Amino acid sequence: MLICRTFGDIRATVAEWRRAGETVVFVPTLGNLHQGHLQLVELGARHGERVVVSIFVNQLQFGKNEDYALYPRTLDADVGKLESVGADALFCPSDTEVYPNGIEHQTTVAVPTMTDILCGATRPGHFTGVTTIVTKLFNIVQPDKAVFGIKDFQQLAVVKRMTQDLCLPIEIIEAPVARADDGLALSSRNGYLNARERAIAPALYRTLLGARESIAGGERNYALLEARAQVALLEAGLRPDYFSVRAAKTLEPAGPADQDLAILAAAWLGRTRLIDNVTIRIAG
């Protein structure tokens, strides 16, 4: 696996693959890789001949009171994991390579409407940080396709909208949620959970499944369903941030005409913020 640290190196590598007629698939990450990330790489390999993974802990998407400084940097271990699943190149630039003028002077990319709700309501500026770095990485790597996980459902929706609105010639591939045996969605932040919290954490997914079963059974009073779910999370020992039934494409609150729904939730468990979602299609 090639390791590239500069724009010039990764662009030259990708250009060579392109000249050979190979399709390039890109998997952007923050590092501290787990099995869910490796599944993104494996999925990418099924969609193209070459897979590029980036590791960059992007300060622009972390809030003032969030865990940027504490976010685990595990590059050596990450390299071994990526080699084990056959990634072709790793792009791991420095902060100064990505933000040569500093983040306070960085031109930003913002997607309206979809980014000030749900996670965006309690993490102001987060999605602008995401869309800015993704746009920069797309421009640097210039892939044909990019893989994003459905676990970060709002992020996926925002990136798809941004890619469409900016006419970027990149196909977005959606990767299923990777889960532990007890249903907990895999996340780098799960490492912050202590043993007691880890035992409680799967209640988030169970509550989402219960809500989906209620909708499948005919429940259409989404406000009541959301209220019941928040109580269930509290009783399980989590502190809910939100629990919401939304139109899957727009992320607007679900209405009677919406058939493709996403049920999204975020909750705190100790100092760890967990997110998860399930989807359902209902008959019109």
pLDDT digits (tens, 9 = 90+) for 106-157: 999 999 999 999 999 999 999 999 999 999 999 999 999 999 999 999 999 9
What is d(CA 41, CA 50) in angstroms, rounded to the nearest whole number?
10
Q: What is the dihedral of CA 252, 154, 198, 223, to 10 degrees?
A: 0
Query: Is residue 60 very low, low, confident or very high in pLDDT (cuts 50, 70, 90)?
Result: very high
Sequence spans of domains, the chain? 2-175, 188-278
Cross-strand partners of 28: 54
Indicate the pTM of the whole model: 0.95
Question: What confidence score (pLDDT) does residue 258 get?
Answer: 95
Judge whether residue 230 has pLDDT over 80. yes
Q: What is the pLDDT of residues 19-42, one digit of tens each?
A: 999 999 999 999 999 999 999 999
Task: State the catalytic residues.
Answer: 37
Mean pLDDT of the chain: 96
Strands 260-269 and 239-247, by their bridges, are antiparallel
Q: In angstroms, what CA-CA distances link 80 with 25, 37, 38, 56, 249?
A: 20, 13, 11, 17, 37
What is d(CA 269, CA 238) in angstroms, rounded to the nearest whole number?
5
* CATH level 2 (architecture), domain 2-175: 3-Layer(aba) Sandwich (3.40)
Element (H, E) at 133: helix 126-141
What is d(CA 283, CA 216) in angstroms, rounded to the nearest whole number?
9
Residue 205: Cβ-neighbour burial (10 angstroms; 0-12, 13-18, 19+):
buried
- The two tokens of residue 250 are 């727009």
Q: Count the Cβ atoms, other than its own, within 10 Å of residue 58.
A: 22
Judge whether residue 65 has pLDDT over 80. no
Question: What confidence score (pLDDT) does residue 66 get?
Answer: 80
Phi, psi dihedrals of residue 274, rounded to the nearest 5°: -105, 145
Among left, alpha and beta (phi > 0; psi -120 to 50; other), residue 132 is alpha
Provide CATH code, domain 188-278: 3.30.1300.10
